[in-house]
Structure formats: structure tokens, C-alpha cells
Homo-oligomer: A and B are copies of this chain.
């Protein structure tokens, strides 16, 4: 099935909206008109909603899952183009990500992952293009450069953040770390700039922006340090946990395991293509109005709508001032992710940073397609933002600019296919994964997590551990599922004893 989401471009077919994916669900609804009230309505079928819906259904609740899109997975989904999974959003997983890995083990997929990197043959180099010029170096030298730069950036306490953020699941466990949330990445770079070589500074800035998708000024230094702590306070951990292991069969195959297990309980009702307009918490439960005019009632709602989208929904009663302030601030991640299929096989072992003059600043060889071509995944963001579908020649040029011809002799970079999802223009995402601007988390993390009457808010954007990651979505889906299941069983137990 083909989702409405995403775009493909090929030389022969040109630009086409829609990408085939295992994540598209048919039929698009299994609702019958008989049920008038559910135990819980889960809004959003990303990993958070899928986890909450599955757990609640397994634990005996009648669940209604509503999703605006035609597919599951939210900000993580994969193509199925000739069987090949280009990852349109969230991609990489690791056993250090507790919630994700536990689900991977649940579905027996622990052997079904592979490394994005393959440095066995081909160019086997890292290409760095900066305002100073263009160089290539070995991947060992790339690692040494990044390790050195990241150590300087993160060493706020003599032990690379271990004292400042000793327990990363309680973000501000050490109150001395709070001032780091008033700082931006630009502020931190200003502190250490005299110690950074030009190459270190370029790769550091590109690496920070690869995490935040914002600008250096809009990136909270504390939130970067939180990621760093989650990765074990090392560059190697950062590589291992953020950008190494991915599913051979793609994210959408993983997400389907949750959906199908929930469906097998026969307690899951669902409707796709059902965006929400209004959520009301009432004394007896919740009332949900969809944009299509339908009304749904339940004892509780779990709302997994991303932070940047919450302003498009009305709530009754109005949300708390703190939550409204967090929504008004929003997160800053406007990552651009473009997959390019390139006929040059030698580029499988290529990685590169081109910064700050290109729309795409960070890219790696990510796989070999069924046609035997090299798959390069490229990242950009707010720094020099573009809408990849707006001008394909500009997008192709941004890919080609990653490769300075001097290093490749007569081998031109021949783009056979582009695949991408414009998360910035996606009305149900309004950005990529959550990344905090300075000040947001130290003032409003609790507000974002707070429930509103019978509506529980859950989502990776305000998870405690791997906030912004699939793992944080599952963390939050579990939390909300347990909370709501206990309450619903309490309500029903009280009714039964009347």
C-alpha cells in the first residue's frame, strides 16, 4: 500500500507524492456503529499510541485508536520501494535504549538489525568540506576528530558531564546543571572556541545540529548534554546508540508488530484518516470531536499529539497556563532528511560533513539498494532550511555538493532516486523529533507531562529518558497505559459494586 506521506523522485518519473509502506493500514477503520463508549481513546498511532493501545487492549480495556494519517508509526516509518526500507524518520535503535530493545526482544527481532556502516570496501573515507576547503581522511581520523571536538564541548565538569547529569532519567537530578539549560549550543561554543581547531569546530557544529535540527542559537546545551549522558558520555556511545543499528525490514515492520498484537486481542477499534478537532474532559470521561464530524466518548483519553501540533486542537477546559506556554514555545527541530540512491558503489563506505554552506550538512553511506546502488542518507535542518520537494534541482544540487569532484576523478555522483518526507510541512508533525530550545525543559517539562482532567498526555517529546526517540515514545506509552488502565478498572469496579 502507498501512503499519502513522503515523496519520491526518479529521473524517469520525476517527483511523485506518496511512498509505499508496510505501515499503511487497510481497511482504514474497523469501527461499527454499535459501541457508544470506550474505556480509552488513544489519539495518535505512533510508537507511543501503539504501545498504550496495545497494552491497554492486552490488559482488558476496550480501546479506540484514532489516527490522522493513513498509516502507523508517526514520525518513524519506512518505505517499501522494491522491498527496500528507506527510513523516512526515526531509524536507529540500540540495546542501550531500554524500552525499544525490550519490544525488539518481545517480537524476536534482536537478530534482525544491521549496521548502517560498512567500511569494508570502496572509498573508505570521510569527506569534510568547510569554508577552509575540502579534505578526505580515514574513518579512524574522523573518529579522532569528532571525539576530540565532542570532549571539549561536553567537558563541563572535568568528567564529561558525569557529575552534571549523573542520572539522565531524572533530567535535572543535579540542580547545578539547571544553568546549562539557559545556555545555547552557540553559548557553549563561544566558551571553548579558542580551544577548537577549525576542523573540530566544523564537525562539532554539524554534529550538534544533526541532533537538534535547529540552529546553534536555538539548541539547548543542557538537552545536548542529556543526549550525551544517555549515550554513556562518550563519542563511541554516541555513534553506537544514535546512528548505527537499524532494522533490516524497516521501522514500519516493527510498528506493525504492536498494531497486530493489539488487534489480535479483539479489543482494539481503530480509525485512520481521522484528525481531531476538539478534546473535552468531562466529569464522567472524555468527548473527542474529529474533523470529519464524528464524536467519540471514553472514560479516559491518551493524547499523543506532538508538542508542535497541540496548538491545532482545542481543549475543554483550556489547558493549564504552563502547558499552553510550552506549546507556544514549541520545539526547534526542523530536520531535513533526504535519501539518495547513487550508482557509485564505492560510496557505500563514505561519510561526509559539508558545513555551513550547504543545505545538507551530514551524510553517510547507509545501505545498498536492490538495484545494487549506494544508498546515502543526508541530513540538514533549520541552519539552511529547504523544502526538498519545492525545487528538486536544488535538492539534487545539495546532495551533489556533499561530494567535491576532486576526490572522485571521473566518477560523477549520479542520482538515481530521491526519497524524503518533509517533516516541517507535515501538519501532523510540524517538525522532526523533539529538540528543546534553551529554557523550555527547566521551566516546562513538568507542565508538558501533566494530565488535564481525564486526558493523559503522553509522547516522546516529554519522555524522561530517550526523549525525542522511539524509545521515549514507548516509555511514555507504557506510563500512560498503566495509569489509565488502573483508573478505568477502578471506575468499572466501582460501577460494578453499585
- With A105-B464, A479-B105, A482-B106 already in contact, the answer to whether A166 and B99 are too (CB < 8 A) is no
Residue A110 contacts which of B101, B102, B169 (CB distance < 8 angstroms)? B169
Within 8 Å CB of A442, what residues of B? none
Report the nearest B residue to A99, measured CB to CB. Answer: B102
Contact, CB under 8 Å: B96 / A96: yes
User: B95, A465: Cβ atoms under 8 Å?
Assistant: yes
- Shortest distance in angstroms between A214's beta carbon and chain B's nearest beta carbon? 26
> Which residues on B sit within 8 Å (CB–CB) of A60?
59-60
Q: Which residues on B sit within 8 Å (CB–CB) of A232?
A: 96, 232, 236-237, 240
Q: Which residue of B lies closest to A173 (CB)?
A: B111
Whether B105 pairs with A169 at a CB distance below 8 angstroms is: yes
- Residue A97, interface by CB 8 Å: yes
- Could you say which of A101, A234, A240, A475 has the most chain B C-beta atoms within 10 Å of its C-beta? A101
Whether the pair A110, B58 counts as a contact (CB closer than 8 A) is no
A199 interfacial by beta-carbon distance below 8 Å: no
A142 to chain B, nearest CB (A): 15
Q: Quick check: A95 and B237 within 8 Å, CB to CB?
A: no
- A111-B170, A113-B167 are contacts. A475–B105 as well, Cβ < 8 Å? yes
Q: Is the CB of B478 within 8 A of A106?
A: yes
Measured between beta carbons, the chain B residues less than 8 angstroms from A166 are: 115
Give residues 315-366 of A contacting B (CB, 8 Å).
Answer: none
Determine whether A193 belongs to the interface, using a CB cutoff of 8 Å to chain B.
no
1/0 per residue, CB under 8 A from B, across A225-257: the answer is: 000001010101100100001000000000000
Task: Flag whether A98 is at the interface (Cβ < 8 A).
Answer: yes
Residues on B with beta carbons closer than 8 Å to the beta carbon of A479:
105-106
A85 to B: closest C-beta gap in Å: 18
A168 interfacial contact with B, CB 8 Å: yes
Please give the distance in Å from A429's CB to the nearest CB on chain B. Answer: 25
**Chain A 83-99 against B: per-residue CB contact (8 Å), 1 yes, 0 no?**
00000000000011111
- Copy total for this chain: 2
Q: Which residues of B contact A475 (CB under 8 A)?
A: 102, 105
A467 CA to B60 CA, complexed, in Å: 32
Identify which of residues 454-483 in chain A touch chain B, using a CB-to-CB cut-off of 8 Å. 464-465, 475, 478-479, 482
List residues 160-208 of chain A with CB under 8 A from any CB of chain B: 166-170, 173
Residue of B whose beta carbon sits closest to that of A493: B266
List the B side residues contacting A245 at CB < 8 Å. Answer: 167
Chain B residue nearest to A101 (CB atoms) is B98
Q: State whether A168 touches B59 (Cβ < 8 A).
A: no
A101 to chain B, nearest CB (A): 4
CB distance B95 to A168 under 8 Å? yes
Chain B residues with CB under 8 A of A237: 232
Across-interface contacts of A240 in B (CB, < 8 A)? 232
Instruction: Look across to chain B and name the residue whose beta carbon is closest to the beta carbon of A166.
Output: B115
Complex CA gap A475/B104 in Å reads: 11
Cβ-closest chain B residue relative to A478: B106
Contacts of A96 in B (CB 8 A): 95-96, 98, 232
Assuming the contacts A170-B111, A240-B232, asked whether A102 and B98 have C-beta atoms less than 8 A apart, the reply is yes
Q: Give Cα distance in the complex from A113 to B170, angstroms.
A: 11
Enumerate 21 A-B pairs (CB-CB under 8 Å) in ascending A order. A58-B59, A58-B485, A59-B60, A60-B60, A95-B98, A96-B96, A96-B98, A96-B232, A98-B100, A98-B101, A98-B102, A98-B105, A99-B102, A102-B102, A102-B475, A105-B169, A106-B479, A110-B167, A167-B245, A232-B237, A234-B234
Besides A98-B102, A105-B478, A106-B478, 15 more A-B contacts (Cβ < 8 Å) are A59-B59, A60-B60, A95-B96, A95-B230, A101-B169, A102-B102, A106-B482, A110-B167, A111-B167, A111-B169, A111-B170, A111-B173, A115-B166, A232-B232, A232-B237
